[in-house]
């Protein structure tokens, strides 16, 4: 795929702007909403935005996935020059490993937060954070 | 080429729309389905950004497990966001 | 109420403007450094470790200690959820979902269940060759158990079996790390022969660790779903 400069600019701005907008929407939901489940939903949306941002920072135009598949290294001796030539066209694997960790940890955080929400509801019979005043339970 | 651009723009707009929907919607069950839609679109975007590992993780965790945990929580508490504003008869002693 | 919304929106606007300005100095789709850590990983992985998937090599080999911490965090999340929601022993059939699905749903899930487990096992066994790995495979296996738990009202998973599988997988991970230490090196040192690129038996300790991680994540997430689903108000 050969991108012209114009297309490149459009894609660049659209990915970053989308990630920032999703982060803003998630933070707005987490800060403004009264319902505790809505707060956790806002944090989850925030998480998605950050993941998109990190992956799109590591992208390289018309790059391939960082996998040396059999089709890629088929009739090519594995010398240092060949590997360097192949790896010049690969996207950055470091943010991908980071986001892989972040998604799994985010799920654990969401599960613990939701179990705390269930426990609070069982005690107070409400989820409004204005009515949950006493911190001791 | 132009179809690729149209696909990317469609997915990005769908993601922003799903995010706004899941924050604005008063019915929490629909809002949770909105977050599942965000994760689904996000996994396709990861695939287009050449990150198949992350796409697989996001599709499995974000679409299936996070949604089901939220739905279990909603089933155990309240379904509508407005229900939290009206004070119920409080049962202070723990069951 | 109104004031808080205005405050939050203005705060987010300032934050967004700064984030946008900072990010637009980066070029999208361009390499930022002439010689970065990326190049080291991309050259070392196929040359020395003989692993095809570079992300797997980073997660398990170069950053293996982080993965041990990550698995520990997931274990702690499961334990915390179980202890927060604990209300006494559950009887059989005392479940949040009290009814079975229809005949079509139960037969379909019984048909799909072995295929989902097989897909999960494939994903974590081939983690060093194809996209995927222990976390993805474990999550897919947990999804299969979730399907069965949703379809049948009286389907139950033994907590003892889950904890035994989880503990054995964790012990395997830590033992491999300690064996690397005994072999004369640091924790999680690679001590097995590497094989050749794109073979199933290649990559030293990476396939063993990822299989252990797959079992551990699958058992943990199945236990987490089972705890949450058995929660009755």
Domains of chain A are: 5-124 (1.10.287)
Does the structure show a pLDDT above 70 at A4? no
Chains touching C (3+ CB pairs < 8 Å): A, B
Q: What is the DSSP string of C102-128?
A: -HHHHHHHHHHHHHHHHHHHHHHHTTT
Residue C9 domain boundaries: 2-229
Provide CB contacts within 8 A for C170, sequence distance 6+: C71, C75, C212, C216
Count interface pairs A-C at CB distance under 8 A.
142
Which pLDDT value is given to residue B95? 41
Q: What are the per-10-residue average pLDDT scores of chain C (233 residues)? A: 84 88 73 75 85 90 90 91 75 58 89 94 90 90 90 83 92 90 84 82 87 93 85 59
Structurally, chain C folds into a number of domains equal to 1
Cβ of B50 within 8 Å of Cβ of A124? The answer is no
Q: Is the ipTM of this complex over 0.90?
A: no
Rg (CA), chain C: 23
Which pLDDT value is given to residue C216? 93
Which pLDDT value is given to residue B67? 92
- Please compute, for residue A21, the number of CA atoms within 13 A of its CA located in the half-sphere on the CB side: 15
Which pLDDT value is given to residue A49? 93
Q: What is the pLDDT of residues C70-122, one digit of tens each?
A: 999 999 998 898 888 877 655 555 565 556 778 898 999 999 999 999 999 99
From the candidates A108, A121, A122, which should be mutated to test the interface with C, based on the most C CB atoms within 10 A? A108
Predicted confidence band of residue A10 (pLDDT cuts 50, 70, 90): low
Distance from A114 to chain B by nearest Cα, in Å? 7
The answer to whether A126 and A102 are in contact (CB under 8 A) is no
Residues of C in contact with B64 (CB under 8 A): 139, 143, 146
* Residues of C contacting chain B (CB within 8 angstroms): 53, 55-56, 96, 123, 131-133, 135-136, 139-140, 142-143, 146, 221, 225, 228-229, 231, 233
> Does residue A112 belong to the interface with chain C, where contact is any CB pair within 8 Å?
yes
d(CA B77, CA C132): 36
Burial class (CB in 10 A: 0-12, 13-18, 19+), A8: middle
Q: Which two tokens stand for residue B11?
A: 């997915």
Which pLDDT value is given to residue B94? 45
Residues of A in contact with B94 (CB under 8 A): 122-123
Predicted confidence band of residue A89 (pLDDT cuts 50, 70, 90): confident
Which pLDDT value is given to residue C229? 80
Cβ of B72 within 8 Å of Cβ of C133? The answer is no
Which pLDDT value is given to residue A105? 92
Scored b (16 or more CB within 10 A) or e, A31-62 reads: bbbbbbbbbbbbbbbbbbbbbbbbbbbbbbbe
d(CA C199, CA C10): 56
3-state class of C145 per DSSP? helix
Which pLDDT value is given to residue A51? 94
Mean pLDDT, rounded, for A23-49: 92
Which pLDDT value is given to residue B93? 44
Does the structure show a pLDDT above 80 at A37? yes
Which pLDDT value is given to residue B12? 93
């Amino acid at each position: 795929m050969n991108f012209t400069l114009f297309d490149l600019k459009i894609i660049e701005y659209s990915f970053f702007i989308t990630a920032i907008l999703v982060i803003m929407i998630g933070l707005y939901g987490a800060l403004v909403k009264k319902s505790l489940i809505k707060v956790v939903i806002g944090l989850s949306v925030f998480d998605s935005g950050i993941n998109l941002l990190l992956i799109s920072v590591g992208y390289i135009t018309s790059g391939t996935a960082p996998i040396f598949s059999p089709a890629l290294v088929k009739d090519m001796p594995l010398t240092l020059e060949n590997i360097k030539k192949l790896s010049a066209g690969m996207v950055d694997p470091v943010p991908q490993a980071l986001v892989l960790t972040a998604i799994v940890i985010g799920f654990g955080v969401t599960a613990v937060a939701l179990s705390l929400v269930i426990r609070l509801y069982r005690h107070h019979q409400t989820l409004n954070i204005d009515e949950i005043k006493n911190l001791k339970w | 080429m132009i179809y690729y651009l149209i696909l990317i723009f469609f997915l990005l707009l769908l993601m922003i729309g799903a995010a706004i929907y899941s924050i604005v919607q008063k019915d929490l069950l629909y809002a949770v389905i909105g977050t599942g839609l965000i994760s689904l679109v996000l996994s396709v975007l990861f695939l287009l950004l050449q990150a198949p590992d992350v796409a697989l993780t996001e599709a499995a965790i974000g679409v299936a497990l996070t949604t089901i945990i939220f739905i279990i929580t909603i089933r155990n508490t309240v379904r509508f966001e407005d229900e939290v504003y009206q004070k119920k008869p409080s049962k202070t002693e723990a069951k | 109420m109104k004031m808080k919304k205005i405050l939050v929106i203005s705060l987010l606007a300032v934050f967004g403007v700064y984030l946008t300005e900072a990010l637009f100095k980066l070029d999208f789709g361009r390499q930022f450094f002439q010689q970065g850590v990326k190049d080291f990983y991309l050259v070392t992985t196929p040359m020395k470790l003989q692993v095809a998937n570079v992300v797997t090599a980073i997660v398990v080999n170069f950053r293996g200690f982080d993965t041990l911490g990550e698995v520990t965090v997931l274990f702690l999340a499961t334990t915390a959820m179980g202890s927060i929601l604990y209300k006494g022993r559950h009887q059989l059939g005392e479940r949040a979902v009290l009814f079975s699905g229809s005949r079509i749903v139960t037969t379909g899930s019984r048909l799909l269940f072995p295929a989902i487990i097989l897909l999960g096992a494939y994903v974590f066994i081939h983690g060093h060759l194809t996209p995927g790995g222990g976390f993805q495979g474990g999550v897919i296996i947990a999804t299969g158990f979730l399907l069965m738990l949703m379809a049948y009202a009286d389907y139950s998973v033994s907590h003892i079996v889950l904890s035994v599988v989880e503990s054995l997988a964790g012990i395997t991970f830590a033992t491999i790390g300690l064996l690397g230490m005994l072999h004369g090196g640091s924790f999680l040192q690679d001590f097995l022969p590497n094989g050749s690129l794109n073979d199933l038996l290649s990559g030293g300790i990476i396939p063993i660790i990822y299989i252990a991680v797959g079992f551990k994540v699958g058992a943990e997430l199945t236990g987490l779903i089972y705890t949450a689903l058995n929660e009755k108000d």
